């Protein structure tokens, strides 16, 4: 009773989740037996407490972890052990938008979980580029960047998208200033012809991934 839903097709994933709800829960008691958690805000103790909760007048409880690709190392290590002997009253769903090829999640849970793959459009949008920067995944971020440029995305538009994203995020002021400085430096290198735009953007992405 552990599911991995992998992909960015949120509509199809919700259909799958709804089918599990109908199978395991009654509409009247759904609110008492359903937990939706977000990986970036989750700690191990909170997850363990939710998993230990018994169903209320039902056979099962459903625990969904959204954006599970952002789970921290401590929680992942717990899950690797948990899937080998899951609690019989819990249906655990890991909702993953994009799984880094280097992530060991599938390898270490193989044979113990049910995997459903959905359409991924991560190679074609700047949102995923920004996400990979936030996750400090330079190799994946560079792959996304190259796909965007091959798709004729303009360097100046990419810089604008990055700037807008960083301005809308609640970043530490020091980090925001460092990122803004890196963006301006990249823009200057491109406009003055000091660097090839493609190389300048690759250099920028690597710098952004490691800025602290």
Domain extent, residue 127, equals 122-210
- Is the pTM here over 0.85, yes or no? no
For residue range 145-158, list pLDDT tens digits in order: 888 887 777 888 88
Please tell me which residue, 64 or 110, carries the higher pLDDT value: 64
Please, are residues 4 and 105 in contact by the beta-carbon 8 Å criterion?
A: yes
State the pLDDT at residue 139.
85
Residues 97 and 8 in one domain: yes
pLDDT(130) > 90:
no
CA-atom Rg of the chain in angstroms: 20
In terms of residues, how long is the chain?
Answer: 212
104-138 core/surface letters (b: 16 or more CB in 10 A; e: else): ebeebbeeebeeeebebebeebbebbbbbbbeebb
Count other C-beta atoms under 10 Å from residue 142's C-beta.
17
> What does the DSSP 8-state code read for residue 1?
-
68-80: pLDDT as tens digits = 988 999 999 999 9
Q: CA distances (Å), 177 to each of 20, 41, 126, in order?
A: 46, 25, 21
- List, in sequence order, every residue forming a beta bridge with 110; answer none if it has no partner: none
Question: Of the residues 70, 90, 117, which one is the last residue of a structural domain?
Answer: 117
Question: Cα separation of 173 and 207, whole Å?
Answer: 17
Helices and strands (DSSP H and E) totals, the chain:
9, 5
Domain boundary, last residue among 62, 89, 117: 117
CB 200 within 8 A of CB 129: no
pLDDT in tens, 151-209: 777 888 888 888 887 776 666 788 888 889 999 999 999 999 988 999 999 999 999 98
Residue 110 dihedral angles phi and psi, to the nearest 5°: -55, 135
Question: What CATH number is attached to the domain comprising 203?
Answer: 1.20.272
Same-domain check for residues 141 and 39? no
Q: What is the pLDDT of residues 14-68, one digit of tens each?
A: 999 999 999 999 889 999 999 999 998 899 999 999 999 999 998 999 999 998 9
Please tell me whether residues 142 and 188 are part of one structural domain.
Answer: yes
Q: What is the CATH number of the domain that holds 111?
A: 3.40.50.300
Find, among 53, 1, 56, 54, the residue nearest to 25 by Cα: 56
Query: Cα(133)–Cα(129) distance, rounded to whole angstroms?
Result: 6
Judge if 106 and 146 occupy the same domain.
no
Pick the residue with more confidence: 5 or 8? 5
Q: How many domains does the chain have?
A: 2
Confidence at residue 123, expressed as pLDDT on a 0 to 100 scale:
41
For residue 9, the tally of other CB atoms under 10 A from its CB is 16
144 or 124, which is more confident: 144
Residue 158, pLDDT score: 86
Q: What stretches of 19-113 adopt beta strand conformation (E)?
A: 34-38, 61-66, 90-96
- Note whether 110 and 86 are same-domain residues: yes
């Amino acid at each position: 009773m552990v599911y991995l839903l992998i992909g960015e097709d949120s509509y199809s994933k919700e259909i799958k989740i709804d089918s599990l709800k109908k199978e395991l829960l009654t509409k009247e008691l759904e609110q008492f037996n359903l937990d939706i958690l977000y990986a970036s805000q989750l700690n191990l103790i909170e997850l363990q407490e939710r998993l230990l909760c018994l169903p209320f007048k039902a056979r099962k409880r459903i625990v969904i972890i959204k954006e599970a690709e952002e789970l921290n190392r401590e929680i992942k290590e717990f899950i690797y052990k948990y899937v080998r002997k899951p609690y019989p009253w819990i249906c655990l769903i890991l909702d993953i938008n994009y799984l880094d090829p280097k992530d060991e999640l599938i390898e270490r849970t193989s044979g113990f979980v049910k995997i459903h793959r959905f359409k991924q459009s991560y190679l074609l949008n700047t949102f995923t580029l920004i996400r990979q920067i936030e996750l400090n995944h330079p190799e994946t971020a560079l792959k996304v960047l190259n796909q965007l440029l091959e798709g004729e995305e303009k360097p100046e538009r990419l810089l604008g998208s990055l700037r807008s994203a960083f301005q809308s995020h609640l970043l530490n002021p020091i980090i925001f200033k460092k990122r803004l400085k890196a963006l301006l430096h990249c823009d200057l290198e491109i406009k003055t012809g000091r660097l090839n735009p493609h190389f300048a953007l690759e250099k920028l992405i690597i710098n952004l991934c490691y800025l602290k």
